[in-house]
Amino acid sequence: MPRSTDRAKVERLLWRAGFGGRPAEIDRLARTGVPKAVETLLAPRGPALRGPAARIDGAPLDPVNAWGHEVLWWLDRAVRTQHPLVERMTFNWHDHFATSNDEVGDTRLMMAQYWTLRRGALGRFRNLTRAILKDRAMQRFLSLANSEKGSPNENFARELFELFTLGVNNGYTERDVREAARALTGFTFDWRTRRFGYDPDKHDDGVKRILGRVGRFTPQDVVDIAIAHKAHAPFLVEKLWGYFSPRACPPKMVRSLARTYVRANTDVRPVLREILTSKLFYAGLNEPDMVKPPFVYVAGMLRLTNTRVDDEGWRWRLHQMGQVPFHPPNVSGWEGGTAWLSTSAIRARFDAATAVLRKTVKDGSVSSRQTPQQALASALAATGRPRVSPRTAAALRRYAVTSVKGRTDRWEVEHYFPERQRVLRHLLLAGPDAQVC
């Protein structure tokens, strides 16, 4: 048996760097120790997915041709992934390079972007940003396509500095944005044929001054210049840290992570290794303080209960919780943190647990001989043995006793014993402990 501390650390690791771990998975990784568990996440092997794919009304998903199926498609991947960090980082990069199909209006392009993000999920950030520069969904979203010399569109240039590489007002000026926009001209999009391209005649090949450097820069040069800027590494590593911990990254740690990042030539893998093995990442194991993002919460709940995505309602539930993949609210991505815990979002989380549990425990299916301890054990087994705080455990034990006390009539046994099981499972999936990791 793994030590309980290692188990708790791996449980956190799998929630923050993935979509939650099944009990056997946690035990297996905990036995190897945290450093090896992190290595397993950083270099996964074997098939990326396991189990049967999602089906709606008996038919496979049709993500390109049916509205909302692209959301279910990603959710299904998160539920079935065996490469959790790759999938989670793909989602983190989707937040970082936030692009919405509400404006792109082309699911095929959004899914192509998914694969671009996934290919670059654990690789060099420079390569990923270069790929995003050429990504067609992004070119549509930030009006990079059809930005021409003489009238360059500044959207992409601004977000490249502000959101993607440097941070708001962090080492660049308005003039840098304007000059970068000139260098980024030349990409084309034909509305009629829907073809993308690059036309050198539409590119401004004049001399530009960007972040202190002067030259006849091309679009790719702009990415490279931004990434070579001294403000970039601290900005990016702090942003990465924020995806894994709600605690402020101490300045010393930012410096260390930035050094690692620069030495690794913008490879994020060593940075992630440093984050995921740091003491601070595992601080407060008994009082988790990171709110699970809705997408992670839902995927994890389905994963731990072995529930297949089989219902179009998951798109709507994610919407109610405030996080629909392929549809971030704006180019800044999702706000996250305690913003996920509005009254209506919590209600939606409760409803999600109800949807998972529907049809699982029917009236008349539980014997009156089931003890409170057995009831709790059964509920824990059915919900993937989630972490339960001592306070919650005490409350659940109390409920397991009082909820069926004196219920001896046949109809009462048929209803209240299963009801106890339904409530216990529901509280384990949607109670306060389940919201954090």
Q: Which is closer to another protein, CB of 46 or CB of 191?
A: 191
Task: For residue 64, state whether it binds another protein (rule: CB under 8 A).
Answer: yes
Nearer to another protein, 108 or 407 (CB): 108
Residues touching another protein: how many (CB under 8 A)? 16
The region of 2-10, 57-65, 126-134, 373-381 touching another protein under the rule CB under 8 A is 57-65
Q: Does the footprint of another protein cover residue 412 (CB under 8 A)?
A: no
Q: Does 190 participate in binding another protein (rule CB under 8 A)?
A: no
CB-based burial of residue 82 (10 Å sphere; 0-12 exposed, 13-18 middle, 19+ buried)?
A: middle
Most distant CA atoms of the chain, gap in Å: 88
Interaction of residue 191 with another protein, rule CB under 8 A:
yes
Among 57, 201, 279, 287, binds another protein (CB under 8 A): 57
CA distance 303 to 309: 10
Q: Among 28, 108, 119, 134, which residue sits at the site for another protein (rule: CB under 8 A)? A: 108
Helix (H) or strand (E) holding 215, with range, is strand 213-215
| 195 forms part of the interface with another protein (CB under 8 A) | no
Selected from 45, 46, 52, 59, the binder of another protein by CB under 8 A is 59
Q: Cα angle vertex 32, ends 432, 285, to 5°?
A: 25
- What is the smallest separation between the CB atom of 359 and another protein, expressed in angstroms? 23
Confirm or reject binding of residue 194 to another protein (CB under 8 A): yes
Helix boundaries (H) for 366-407: 372-382, 390-402
DSSP 203: S
58 binds another protein (CB under 8 A): yes
What would the two tokens of residue 72 be? 């279910």
How far is it, in rounded angstroms, from Cα 227 to Cα 233? 8
Q: Are 328 and 334 in contact (CB under 8 A)?
A: yes
Q: Which of 31, 42, 49, 103 binds another protein (CB under 8 A)?
A: 103
Does 102 participate in binding another protein (rule CB under 8 A)?
yes
* Distance between CA atoms of residues 398 and 396, nearest Å: 5
- 11 neighbors 290 (Cβ within 8 angstroms): no
Q: How far is the C-alpha of 202 from the C-alpha of 332, rounded, in Å?
A: 29
Q: Is there a contact between 146 and 168 (Cβ–Cβ < 8 Å)?
A: no
Question: Whole-number minimum distance, CB 191 to another protein, in Å?
Answer: 6
Classified as helix, coil or strand, 221 is: helix
Q: State whether residue 384 is helix, strand or coil.
A: coil
Rg (the chain; Cα; Å): 24
Q: Which of 35, 47, 51, 105 binds another protein (CB under 8 A)?
A: 105
Region near another protein per CB under 8 A, out of 20-28, 58-66, 125-133, 166-174: 58-66
| Binding of residue 65 to another protein (CB under 8 A) | yes
Site for another protein contains 112 (CB under 8 A): no
CB of 139 to another protein, least distance (A): 15
Q: Does 116 bind another protein (CB under 8 A)?
A: no
**Sole binder of another protein in the list 22, 27, 40, 62 (CB under 8 A):** 62
Q: Output helix, strand, coil percentages for the chain, rounded to the nearest 5.
A: 55, 5, 35
Q: Which C-beta is closer to another protein: that of 1 or that of 59?
A: 59
Contact residues for another protein (CB under 8 A)? 57-59, 62, 64-67, 102-103, 105-108, 191, 194
